[in-house]
Amino acid sequence: MPINSLYLDQIVGRGEVKYDVRKFLFLGSQEKAPTMLYFRADTPFKTLADIIKAVEPPKCGSTGTASTGYLIAKLLDEAFKAKLNTVTGYQGGAEIDVAVERGEIICRGMDIPPHFGREPFDGWHKKGFDRHILQGGAKRDPRLPDTPTLFELMDQYKSSDVVRRATRIVLASGDFGRPMLAGPGTPPERLKVLRDAYARAMSDPSLIHEARTGQMDMEYTPGEDLQSLMKDIMDQPSEVIERVRKILSD
Residue 12: predicted pLDDT: 84
Confidence bin at 15 (pLDDT 50/70/90) = confident
SS3 of residue 161 by DSSP: helix
Considering only residues 64 and 79, tell me which one the structure prediction assigns the higher pLDDT. Answer: 79
The CA-atom distances, in angstroms, between 83 and each of 31, 59, 75, 89, 169 are: 30, 10, 10, 19, 21
Residue 97: predicted pLDDT: 96
Calpha distance 179→1 (Å, rounded):
6
* Mean per-residue pLDDT over the chain, rounded: 92
Q: What is the pLDDT of residues 129-145, one digit of tens each?
A: 999 999 998 899 999 99
Q: Which of 1-5, 68-72, 187-191 has the highest mean pLDDT?
A: 187-191
Residue 222: predicted pLDDT: 97
Average pLDDT over residues 29-42: 94
Confidence bin at 45 (pLDDT 50/70/90) = very high
Q: pTM, whole model, 2 decimals?
A: 0.83
Cα angle at 34 between 16 and 106, to 5 degrees?
95
What is the set of domains in the chain, with CATH numbers?
A: 6-31+177-249 (3.40.190.150), 35-171 (3.40.190.10)
Evaluate if residue 247 carries a pLDDT over 90.
no
